[in-house]
Amino acid sequence: MINSINSSKQGSIKGWFPRGLVDSAKDILFAPVTSEGLCPLQLHWDIGRVTKIEVIQNYREHSLKLLLPRLIEPHSHIDKSFTWKEFPNLQGTYEEALKVNLREHENRTPEIVRSRSEKALKLALANGLRSIRSHIDSFGLSGTHSWQVITDLKHEWKDFIELQCVALVPLEYWGTQEGHLLANKVARSEGLLGGVLVPPFHKQDSYKSLVDLFHLANRVNCGIDIHIDESAKFPAAGIKQLIKALDHMEVNVPITCSHSSSMSLLSSREVRYLANRLASHNVGVIALPLTNNWLLGRQERETPVKRPLAPIKQLQEAGVNVAIGGDNLQDPWFPLGNLDPISLMSSSMSLIQLPPWERLGLSPYTTSAAAIMGLEWDCTIKCGSPANFVILDASSWSECLSIIPRRQHIINGDFFDENMSLVKPQLEIF
Ligand SMILES: [Zn+2]
């Protein structure tokens, strides 16, 4: 772990920065722009905050690299990270993942959870992440231990990574006395209430569990993020119950639906209707294309051509905030994953047909992810924004997403190399 850093220094960096992430158009009037929407900018800062945004007119005289705000992972599971090797799910089904996950649970100790979560955080930092929302299996004694370990890590890492913790328990647990005690604990560590609503389920029971959860979240003032409709069956069954519950009561905390995958199996008209209803209730959606494409819709001897995945574009069109997350990290649910936002963009781009040079292609990894997570900084730059950047050894989006480049970091105005060692400030890196 790196010690806290004094961010009293002035500094600046040159690079290709996405035009869509500059807060005010006035700052980039007459700026050259590449076909991928990148502007050559020099960003200046003092005491860890941006003080000036300067357009580099003679950019051809420089060898500029891609410059991004430090990024966000809105949906992870660091407590079960790196467990694939010991607990593989070779069939690759949802049902088998659940079984293997339960077996892995029997072997959890606080030390193991701490070790794998720390490894995940180090990897995330070196990959350019500044904020992670992680769901934590929080049921029973091992859940109590995990919650303690991860909230300790949240405190230890706060200067480098903002960690949001979601207590993941069976949905009906929030209606019990133990659930209420857990919610109080979650509130004390500024976490969120989580759960799973995946069919087949009993409609009335699930509706009641959602209502209980909403009342509790209102009382303890915690946001909600639930795994919903991570399925290839009963399209949007969970979302429909959620909307019904929201129609009958007022919820005063942010609500996020993670996955919402089976919704895309509905007709266009139904998708549009539900997307509008989600927007009217101000519900955010986190799409998780990699795990969905790996786990869902499997059929023996057939390669599925129709894939359950949150209908990202229709949701955006309706005004829903949509983020994209990496979800699992080499665990029974998904054998790959590396907490690398660039690798996630690269793998997702062809699955979702949304490239980062489009505004709605970049927002799920930046502004929308920040909005769903309620982060103080929305990833856009203006005077006063945090000097938090990642510099990638590539000069365009296409190159960056093809090679998964080396990277260096500016954290609150300090420069770090790819090994996360403090280095001397440089105007151009690599
Ligand atoms: Zn998940």
In angstroms, what is the span from residue 429 Cα to ligand 1's centroid?
36
What's the pLDDT score for residue 2? 43
Per-residue pLDDT of the chain (430 residues; tens, 9 = 90+): 344 444 457 999 999 999 999 999 999 999 999 999 999 999 999 999 999 999 999 999 989 999 999 999 999 999 999 999 999 999 999 999 999 999 999 999 999 999 999 999 999 999 999 999 999 999 999 999 999 999 999 999 999 999 999 999 999 999 999 999 999 999 999 999 999 999 999 999 999 999 999 999 999 999 999 999 999 999 999 999 999 999 999 999 999 999 999 999 999 999 999 999 999 999 999 999 999 999 999 988 999 888 999 999 999 999 999 999 999 999 999 999 999 999 999 999 999 999 999 999 999 999 999 999 999 999 999 999 999 999 999 999 999 999 989 999 999 999 998 888 888 877 777 7
Distance 268 CA to ligand 1 centre (A): 26
Ligand 1 centroid to Cα of residue 305, in Å, is 23
Task: Kindly give the pairing relationship between strand 283-287 and strand 322-324.
Answer: parallel
185 Cα–ligand 1 center, Å: 21
Pairing of strands 66-69, 389-392: antiparallel
Report how far ligand 1's centroid is from the alpha carbon of 76 (Å): 6
Cα–Cα nearest to 211, from 198, 197, 199:
197
Its CATH architecture, for the domain 71-354, is Alpha-Beta Barrel (3.20)
d(CA 85, CA 392): 30
* Angle, CA of 225, 321 and 318, to the nearest 5°: 125
Distance 230 CA to ligand 1 centre (A): 9
CA 92 to centroid of chain Cα atoms: 23
Half-sphere exposure of 4 (CA within 13 A, CB side): 6
Between CA 155 and CA 189 the distance in angstroms is 10
Gap from CA of 327 to ligand 1 centroid (Å):
5
Ligand 1 centre distance from Cα of residue 401 (Å): 24
Q: Could you tell me the two tokens for 401?
A: 């997403």
The domain ranges of the chain are 10-70+378-423, 71-354
Fold of 10-70+378-423: Urease, subunit C; domain 1 (2.30.40)
Instruction: For 274, list phi and psi in degrees, rounded to 5.
Output: -65, -35
Q: Determine the pLDDT at residue 8.
A: 52
d(CA 419, ligand 1 centre) in Å: 29
